[in-house]
Chains A and B, each alone.
Chain A
Amino acid sequence: MKEKKMERTAIKISAIKEYLDKGKTIIALVGVIIVFTILSPNFLTVNNLIIMSKHVAQTAILAVGMTFVVLTGGIDLSVGAICGLSGMIAGGLIYEGLVLNLFGIIIYFSIPIIILISLALGMLVGWLNGILVTRFKVAAFIATLGTMYICRGAAMLRSNGKTFPNLVGKKEFGNTSFPFLGSGTIIGIPISVWIMIVLVIIAVYVSTKTPFGRYVYAVGGNENAARLSGIKVNKVKTVVYVISGACAAMVGLIISSELVASHPATGESFEMNAIAASVLGGTSLAGGKGSVFGAIIGAFVIGFLNDGMVMVGVSSFWQTVIKGVVIILAVIFEQMQSKKAE
């Protein structure tokens, strides 16, 4: 009996420790909130928090996928381009339908089908990344740089670089609900924030409670040992890119829906925000160390910092500089902490 109690206390202690570890980013987030609340009275209002969360959701969803990839020791530069491509595919299907010249017909899909098609496309690109990295042994940086260009180019080709405007759909085609994804709310909270919340819950569960989550950390920590332990390393590595691709496609859909238009340049340099959020959240680019939850907090830090600076009236050039400084400081802080721990 006593032993069991002690055991449970030990588990609790380790949980608290883990929480405090992640807490470092939370402290940064609290700091950001305090600073901007002082500087701008409108910062800590419900309305503003909802607007900011909507912005954060985009980075956060990308960061979820990115964190899985980075945990295995990889990197995914293609996510921004996948955002653009998935938006263009969905936009095209709504705006002009699937044109089959051969049969002289145009097919209009319903919105859920269009969302699934776009997500499937994102996953397909992710799968391609995975195959390049595992089967063809292309370095992740290069493989995803390549698919980034391919996807961006494909997005441009889809419309010859033009925008698909006014994606409200037509009643007679039954595809009018697309704007709901970006501007609809449930109990006052935007759909995209709900998507983020659900996704984060699933991702935290998968990364901490399932065998697959363990394998992700194991592969990132020591790939050779993982292989000898019977883990199907290539499968794990491929799946994380598929997850990342799906997350990116989701973000592409959300953005197009918010704007009620698809532009092929959507999502440019978003991959950098996602990587920054992961790293801010304590994820090591060497792999094996970090957490999904931390990455979400990291996304909030970046998002709140961005919007806060806009509200306070910092020039956009300075915003960029400050963002860079914060990221570097966070990582230096992290390094000092882990050195102390040793």
Chain B
Amino acid sequence: MADEIILEAKGITKLYPGTRALENVDFKVRRGKVNVLIGENGAGKSTLMKIIAGVESATSGEILINGSIAHYTTPAEAISHGVGIIHQELNLFPNLNIAENIFMTRELKKNPITIDLKKQVEEAKKYLDKLQLFIDPTTLVRNLRAGQQQIVEICKVLSQKAHIIIMDEPTSSLCQAEVSILFNIINELMVSGVTVIYISHRLEEIMRIGDYITILRDGHFIAEERVKNINLQWIIEKMTGNNHILRIETDRTAGEEILRVEHLTLPKRNGGYVLKDVSFTLRRNEILGIYGLRGAGRTELLECLIGAQSSMNGSIYLGGRKVTSHDINGRIKDGFALIPEDRKNLGIFHNLSIEKNMTISSLKRFTKRTEIKKRKERTAVQDIVNQLQIKLFSPDEFITSLSGGNQQKVVIGKSLLTEPKVLLMDEPTRGIDIGAKQDVFRICNNLVGRGVGVIFVSSEMQEILAIPDRVLVLSGGCLKGEFTNETVTEEKLVLTSALDLNAKE
């Protein structure tokens, strides 16, 4: 490995309350190359990148730039060391134009108080030209496509004189053509001496663009290699470590069909598809897993089923009868229930008590004429609290007094009180501790035992291997594979979800 090391993270350990995100991780970044960092969800990639970019500071360990120790604790200081980051979720102001975005907080000025708009536009144009985005710098960022916005982000870090650019999943929201453009830009950046740290789940991309690859697993450094010396098989082995989790054995066999989805298609607002021609069935006595990377259409698929996506096409049959309702209220009455992924923004009411949170979807059950019968409501809530083993002091406490796991159980309880036939769970274990995760899995199994159909969406490999009886793999809005729990392996999931990008063209 002859290339010069420009940045080196040495012995990085990061502790969060309750978890160890990184343990003694080493990461070498080589000048003028694309340095790929790869690992499963929760492996610690993002944490490591946040530390290198100064967003977070390490509990222990040090960062060397050009061989000498660099101390920085904020993104601004990191930039002064030449390290810039492009986050997966772009940080642009859609209501401002390209030039204003590029020079945000570093405005070019005529005098101490007046911005030199003309000069900003000229300078912005230079950067845009360099990256071959021939577009007027006074265009509002709102009017750019995702790929173009990405390029503006790159201009922004370049204008900050960054020569080490971290790209966190830069292709997750791009179409295939935009990915090619991005790769050309990366190649040109390297010619001009810029170093790139590239994070992605998409193995094929890594093989195309990467020079060096570093693999993390469970917060540990696993391996480092030149990309030209390795193959996909090697990556997968290192990533997964052959650590197959044993699935919870159940002796159930799938029964009759509960739910059938035919040719479900969800168009994007400006052309293309979020979901394309998705068809599948869900049977009694089974948990159906849906696996896919970010942007694969997992959440949108569930939103279509719960009635939150009004522009969807296709048919849904519940218990053999075609579903005709088209709003959420109607779908809940039909027997659908959704546990949303974003608990804080879509799941809970921070201003209401645990009890009121839990019964909000099923108040009609406790209402006699016009009045909610408090006693009846309380009985139902206690029942759910016992059933889901929610740890609480009193149902009258605010829901925000609970831990994440218990909040999630309340959200699950809310769905159960509507007596669903099909429960749609979108990343139900996100942000909750391991004990609560086990509880959620147990709840899933219990529900299935009672005849409820469960669709379990997850991007956590271990979960998707252990929990569902059958797994569908989504990629780019299309169903790319189906595995039973006997045939599913980590390798297959990684390959199906990450390799089919070309197939959609």
Contact = CB atoms under 8 A, between A and B. Distances in A.
Interface of A: 7, 10-11, 13-14, 205, 209-211, 214-215, 217-218, 220-222, 224-232, 288-289
A7 B374 CA distance: 12
A220 B351 contact: yes
Nearest to B333: A230
Interface stretch (B167-175, B188-196, B365-373): B365-373
Nearest to A229: B361
B347 interface: yes
21 contacts: A10-B394, A13-B394, A209-B371, A209-B372, A210-B367, A210-B370, A210-B371, A211-B372, A214-B356, A217-B352, A217-B356, A218-B356, A222-B345, A222-B351, A225-B340, A228-B340, A229-B414, A231-B360, A288-B350, A288-B351, A289-B351
**Chain A, interface SS category:** helix
Contacts, number: 86
Given A209-B371, A209-B372, A289-B351, A230 B361 contact: yes
Contact of A228 (B338, B372, B396): B338
Contacts of B374: 11
B448 interface: no
A213 to B, nearest CB: 8
Interface string B350-393: 11100010001101100100111010001000100000000000
Contact of A225 (B348, B367, B371, B378): B348
Contacts of B414: 229
Nearest to A220: B351
A225 B372 contact: no
Interface string B409-427: 0000010001000000000
Given A209-B372, A221-B349, A228 B329 contact: no
Interface in B291-313: 306, 308
Contact of A288 (B308, B349, B378): B349
Nearest to A219: B349
Contacts of B371: 205, 209-210
B316 interface: no
Nearest to B330: A230
Contacts of B394: 10, 13-14
Q: Which 8 A-B residue pairs are closest in the complex by CB-CB distance? A: A221-B351, A288-B351, A14-B396, A211-B363, A230-B332, A221-B349, A230-B329, A229-B361
A222 B340 contact: no
Given A14-B396, A230-B329, A222 B348 contact: yes
Given A209-B372, A231-B360, A224 B346 contact: yes
A199 B206 CA distance: 68
Nearest to A290: B351
B440 interface: no
B415 to A, nearest CB: 9
Contacts of A228: 306, 308, 328, 338, 340, 346-347
A218 B349 contact: yes
Contact of B360 (A209, A210, A218): A218
A289 B353 CA distance: 12
A211 B349 contact: no
Contact of A214 (B329, B345, B360, B382): B360
Contacts of B363: 211, 214
Contacts of B360: 214-215, 218, 226, 229, 231
